[in-house]
Amino acid sequence: MDSGFPLNLVFRHVAAANDAGGIYEVVHFFSSAGPVPWGVIDEAGQKACGRSLGTPPTVGTLEELKAFALAVCQVVGAPEVFLVSVPDYNIGVEAARDLRAYREIFRRYGVAIPNTEVIGRPQGLMGRFFRK
């Protein structure tokens, strides 16, 4: 998977029967290069949430979902990840008229989580040379 692209995560909240919070499920995890491979999702779930390998990507809180998404982002070296709920995604898709508008769904309706390991990285010799 090419790591230069931001990641997009579509999730849904499934309420618990006893109103005790529920869980957050990952519906789709992808970038413009394609879907995030299951092995990466599995590895990040183990790293961020302590889940056993092979378990579905579900978490108990929104904060855990953000930690999980950032862990995947760090594994693939993506600059950022956008989280958007299924209802917000659907609203955006209905309003999108072209591919550019579709890509903006995640920036407009989602929560952006920057990967400081990539964004804060020194730019190298040429970046330092052309810096102000």
What pLDDT score was predicted for residue 121?
Answer: 53
Please provide the distance, in angstroms rounded to a whole number, between the alpha carbons at the two ends of the chain: 33
Q: Residues in the chain with pLDDT < 70?
A: 1-3, 19, 51-52, 54, 119-132
Decide the pairing of beta strands 7-14 and 80-85. parallel
Domain locations in the chain? 7-130
Q: pTM, whole model, 2 decimals?
A: 0.81
Per-residue pLDDT tens digits for 54-64 = 677 888 899 99
